[in-house]
Amino acid sequence: MGAALENAIPFAVTHELIRQGLQNLNMIAPISDISTDMLIGSGCVKTVTGAWVGNVSGGMGHNYRRAAEKGIPNSIKINDYSNFSIGMAFFAGAYGLPYIPVKSILGSDITKSNPSIKMSTNPFSDELEPVALVPALKPDIAFLVVQRSDHFGNSHIWGSTGLTQEASIAAEKIIVLADEIVEPEVIASDPSRVLIPGFGVNAVCHVPAACHPSPLIGRWKRDHEFFHNYHQETRDLAGFETWCDQWVRHLPDHEAYRSKLGDRLESLRIIGDAPSAPANYAAE
Amino acid sequence: MPENYSTQELMIIAAAREINDYERIFVGMRLPITAYGVARLTHAPNAVGLFESGVSRYEPAKDMLYTMCDGPNQLGAAWTTGLIQIMGLLSGGRVHAGFIGGAEIDRYGNINTSYIGDFDDPDVKLPGSGGAPDIASMAERLIVIMNHKKHRLVKKVDYITSPGFLGGGNERKMAGLIGGGPAVVITDRAILRPYGPENELHLAAYHPNHTVQEILKNTGWDLKSIPDVHETASPTKVELEALHQIDKDGFWRT
């Protein structure tokens, strides 16, 4: 979850996982802002596989610290990666490679704290050229927030995409959360903007603002204050419980969450106009 | 302070001076992106900014950014793409310099943003690496921004998230890292640079109103000085004007 890094994070899914009380999850998330911290605090997580967990604009993730330092609410296992090395692990997973050599974690203690990474050398070089071998990473499910999709899951995404493409192709199942559902002709009019074709998608859900409080380019601004308040209010576990009851557990679904946000959500809606130039696909 | 600039402004301008024209720079949020903006407006108008989520820009975003993925960083970008495409430039040796910060740095420029204490049973769990090790290991030069406190500039870090010169000397090269490692550490008191065959960080410049003695007292190892250690050059009028043009609200003035 959160393959795009700090935008298009599927917080609607984060909330639902908490409401359903799922446990023992392995959250594969390079940087998913406060999504992973919420899941850890709710006792959903057994393993964190990623590069960074915290509150990007607020600082540390209090739940992450409590779990890693004191085993509260439960102890967690951390599989450390850097952003590029987890990306290459998805790349290997996506394209059927058992592992992939990476250079940019050489010298880092990531190669020690993550025992799945093995050290080797370039077999094609006469000189000693170290490489780190990173095994393929294949998530069970990838949840993606997209700007628009048709009802087959053919989706348009624009703006930076982080590891969206590699992570979702590597995943066993893809679930799309579309900000808007459009006719198939709309998507087909610009196939170069399709990051994920419908034939790989298992389910499409129409969930406006599923990304809140993270941004979605051209649709929703980032709710900076929400991140700040979360940081302030979750300093102790009781504070997190109160926060989580208020924003997640006591709400039945994302529609209720959007209603609770009310005008605040409306103020985050992007109303400006900065369209790209049309691309001509005519064949003759 | 009699000067017409703040310590933070001095740090930004010192960082801007580390960027050369036409270079590709990995830029972080806040202080680094402001330094990048100052460099573009002064001596490096053709520098290119890279953001690991998959954004490349010429001109920095006009609005304040909280994360690299925010809308204003994508509007008018040179390239919005994926992480592998942008960080692949690093891995391919095509990036000149990158900025990172950290909780702890040691005398060989190794940086820890992961664990204080043992990684199996940490005293403090820090947020982790993000893309910092990728930048630290593969960029030609690393520009480090730190608060200068004794518990932050330590003899040896508990965990190397982002490699500097590892155990010193040529250990970095032996580990197979293509980038040149930390070129400079800019703190709120001083500028440190690697010096000598061991590549140990030395005091290169002390900021106005700071003394060598005070800097030594706030460093966790026996900090030596380079032979021509000097006072950090004050910001020029042109540099300050460029900074004020970017920082219209005076965020960095205090």
Task: Catalogue all structural domains in chain B, each as residue range(s) with its CATH number.
Answer: 7-246 (3.40.1080.10)
The CA distances from residue B63 to A18, B33, B57, B187, B230, in Å, are: 35, 12, 14, 26, 36
Kindly determine whether residue B70 and residue A222, on different chains, have CB atoms separated by under 8 Å: yes
Kindly determine whether residue A7 and residue B69, on different chains, have CB atoms separated by under 8 Å: yes
Domain residue spans of chain A: 11-135, 141-268
Predicted pLDDT at B254: 80
Q: In what order do the strands lie in the sheet with B153-154?
A: B111-112, B104-106, B153-154
* Amino acid making up residue A276: S
Cβ-nearest to B133 among A30, A91, A108: A108
pLDDT above 50: residue A28: yes
* pLDDT tens digits, A186-226: 999 999 999 989 999 999 999 999 999 999 999 999 999 99
Kindly determine whether residue A82 and residue B160, on different chains, have CB atoms separated by under 8 Å: no
pLDDT-above-70 percentage for chain B: 99
Q: What is the mean pLDDT of residues B122-144?
A: 96
Q: What is the mean pLDDT of residues B100-116?
A: 95
Kindly determine whether residue B128 and residue A52, on different chains, have CB atoms separated by under 8 Å: yes
Kindly state whether B81 is in contact with chain A, defined as any CB-CB distance less than 8 angstroms: yes
Q: Which chain A residue shows the shortest CA-CA distance from B82?
A: A162
Q: What is the mean pLDDT of chain A?
A: 97
Q: How confident is the model at residue B6 (pLDDT cuts 50, 70, 90)?
A: very high
Kindly state whether B160 is in contact with chain A, defined as any CB-CB distance less than 8 angstroms: yes
Contact residues for B234 (Cβ-Cβ < 8 A; gap 6+)? B3, B5, B10, B208
> CA-CA distance, B128 to B125, in Å (whole number)?
8
ipTM of the prediction: 0.96
* pLDDT tens digits, B187-223: 999 999 999 999 999 999 999 999 999 999 999 999 9
* pLDDT tens digits, B161-171: 999 999 999 99
> CA-CA distance, A22 to A208, in Å (whole number)?
24
Rg over alpha carbons for chain B, rounded to the nearest Å, is 18
Kindly state whether A51 is in contact with chain B, defined as any CB-CB distance less than 8 angstroms: yes
Both tokens of residue A150?
């048709």
Kindly report the nearest CA distance between residue A231 and chain B, in angstroms.
Answer: 14
DSSP of chain B = --SSS-HHHHHHHHHHTTPPTT-EEE--TTHHHHHHHHHHHTT-TT-EEEETTTEEESSPPSS--SSTTSHHHHTT-SEE-BHHHHHHHHHTT---EEEEE-SEEETT--EE-SEEEETTEEEEE--B-TTHHHHHHHSSEEEEE----TTTEESS-SS-SB-SSTTSTTHHHHTT--S--EEEEE-SSEEEEEETTTTEEEEEEE-TT--HHHHHHTSSS---EEEEEEEPPPPPHHHHHHHHHH-TT-TT--
Q: Are B100 and B135 in contact (CB under 8 A)?
A: yes
Look at residues B56, B28, B47 and name the one whose alpha carbon lies nearest to residue B242: B47
Cβ-nearest to B133 among A110, A161, A222: A110
Q: Are A35 and A9 in contact (CB under 8 A)?
A: yes
pLDDT above 60: residue B2: no
Cβ-nearest to B87 among A81, A83, A215: A83
Predicted pLDDT at B1: 45
Predicted pLDDT at A15: 98
Q: Which chain A residue shows the shortest CA-CA distance from B179?
A: A104
Can you give chain A as a three-state secondary structure string? CCCCCCCCCCHHHHHHHHHCCCCCEEEECCECCCHHHHHHHCCCEEEEEECECCECCCECCHHHHHHHHHCCCCCCEEEECCHHHHHHHHHHHHCCCCEEEECCCCCCCHHHHCCCCEEEECCCCCCCCEEEEEECCCCCEEEEEECEECCCCCEECCCCCECHHHHHHHCCEEEEEECCECCHHHHHCCHHHEEECHHHCCEEEECCCCCCCCCECCCECCCHHHHHHHHHHCCCHHHHHHHHHHHHHCCCCHHHHHHHHCHHHHHHECCCCCCCCCCCCCCC
What is the fold of A11-135?
A: Glutaconate Coenzyme A-transferase (3.40.1080)
Kindly determine whether residue A65 and residue B163, on different chains, have CB atoms separated by under 8 Å: no
* pLDDT tens digits, A171-182: 999 999 999 999
Kindly determine whether residue B128 and residue A80, on different chains, have CB atoms separated by under 8 Å: yes
Both tokens of residue A268?
């985050």
Q: How confident is the model at residue B102 (pLDDT cuts 50, 70, 90)?
A: confident
Q: Does domain A141-268 have CATH number 3.40.1080.10?
A: yes
Q: In what order do the strands lie in the sheet with A130-135?
A: A99-102, A130-135, A118-121
Q: How confident is the model at residue B3 (pLDDT cuts 50, 70, 90)?
A: confident
The CA distances from residue A69 to A27, A62, A74, A77, B112, in Å, are: 18, 10, 10, 11, 17
pLDDT above 70: residue A152: yes
State the CB neighbour count (10 A cutoff) for residue B81.
Answer: 18
Q: Which chain A residue shows the shortest CA-CA distance from B64?
A: A224
* pLDDT tens digits, A239-282: 999 999 999 999 999 999 999 999 999 999 999 999 999 999 99
> CA-CA distance, A3 to A162, in Å (whole number)?
6
Set of chain B residues whose Cβ sits within 8 Å of the Cβ of A69: 122-125
B26, B50, B67, B69: best to mutate for the A interface, most A CBs within 10 A: B69
* pLDDT tens digits, B31-82: 999 999 999 999 999 999 999 999 999 999 988 899 999 999 999 999 999 9
- Known active-site residue B52: yes
pLDDT-above-90 percentage for chain B: 94
Q: Which chain B residue shows the shortest CA-CA distance from A228?
A: B66
User: What backbone torsions phi and psi does residue B3 show, to the nearest 5 degrees?
Assistant: -70, 160
Contact residues for A70 (Cβ-Cβ < 8 A; gap 6+)? none
Cβ-nearest to B122 among A68, A83, A270: A68
Set of chain B residues whose Cβ sits within 8 Å of the Cβ of A6: 53, 67-70
- Cα angle for residues B143, B148, B151 (degrees, 5° grid): 115
Who wins on pLDDT, A21 or A59?
Answer: A21
Per CATH, A11-135 and A141-268 having the same topology is answered yes
User: What backbone torsions phi and psi does residue A23 show, to the nearest 5 degrees?
Assistant: -130, 170
